Amino acid sequence: MSDFYIILTGTLVAIACGILGCFLILRKMAMVGDAISHAVLPGIVMAFLWSGSRDSVTMLIGAGTLGVLTTIIIEFLHKKGKLQTDASIGVTFTWLFALGVILISAYTGQVDLDQECVLYGEIAYVPLDTIILSSGTDIGPKALYLIGSVLVFVILFVTIGFKQLKITSFDPEYAVALGISATLWNYLLMAFVSFTTVASFESVGAILVVAFLIAPAATAYLISKKLKTMIWLTCLIGFMSAFLGYYLAAALNASIAGAMATVCGLIFALVFTYVRIMSKKVTKVTNFESAKA
């Protein structure tokens, strides 16, 4: 049963991150997702220091606030400070991430909140941290309910705002002409990226969650240019990464989350190679037909 819980948790993390990652890829904001996954760290710590507990809701609020703040700072440095986008991202997430590490080491040394937990996570411990009702009934891992709830909210967000997200991703200027606030939907997307990131911390950590945000969506983008198809492919790739990654980790006696992220990269490499080969074959056939004509 532990195997099932671990694979299911990894799948839910990969799908929740991957769905949002599709829109990050289309908006050419993949590195913003990376920035947010690191920059929310001080928000988590400050939420903990304020509340005195590791309550999931409090930490989600702290992470969401810092995620939106990160986006605002990046936009400010880019538009007002005239910095290039990559420079704005680099400056913002590095100092916020460093601030979070300092806060952890300075103020949370006596509690179970440390750099290793936040950075790397440990999905193997998921089956051990369960929810036990007052009746004594064990209803399953806490992490599974947390990331499952976040996934439901992500699906609702994307379903309700699909039109707005699609238009603002492909053509922000056209969205503005239609009366759709591109800025508002951008901030909403970044907030959900923040929530999903912090919900995934204990399972896969801040660093490895980036792989689930970007790799499955980037792989799906190579195969299909239709958004809905891209999202479904991303979910499938996320499941494959979690399933195969678990058994790869078992075979190598290695980090499960790391193995899952590695499988994400391997699937991307295989698809990329296949697409390149097929592209060259099509080019050769086209040139041959042109020569015959």
Closest to 30 (Cα-Cα) out of 21, 39, 38: 21
Mean pLDDT of all residues belonging to the chain: 83
Position 86 pLDDT exceeds 90:
no
CA distance 185 to 33: 15
Of all residues in the chain, what percent carry a pLDDT higher than 70? Answer: 88
- The reported pLDDT for the residue numbered 287 is 62
Contact yes or no for 239/55 (Cβ under 8 A): no
**Confidence band (pLDDT; 50, 70, 90) for 284?**
low
Position 115 pLDDT exceeds 60:
no
- The reported pLDDT for the residue numbered 163 is 92
Give one word for 53, left, alpha or beta, with left for phi > 0 and alpha for psi -120 to 50: beta
In one letter, which amino acid is 243? F
Residue owning tokens 């993390």:
13
Position 192 pLDDT exceeds 70:
yes
Contact yes or no for 130/141 (Cβ under 8 A): yes
Strand, coil or helix: what is 131? strand
- pLDDT tens per residue across span 225-282: 899 999 999 999 999 999 999 999 999 988 888 888 899 999 999 999 998 888 877 7
Helix (H) or strand (E) holding 1: none
Q: Calculate the dihedral angle through the C-alpha atoms of 115, 38, 249, 1, rounding to the nearest 10 degrees.
A: 80
How many CB atoms sit inside 10 A of residue 60's CB? 24
Stated pTM of the model: 0.86
Which one is predicted more confidently, 239 or 76? 239
Which one is predicted more confidently, 157 or 182? 157
- The least confident of 87-101, 215-229, 238-252 is 87-101
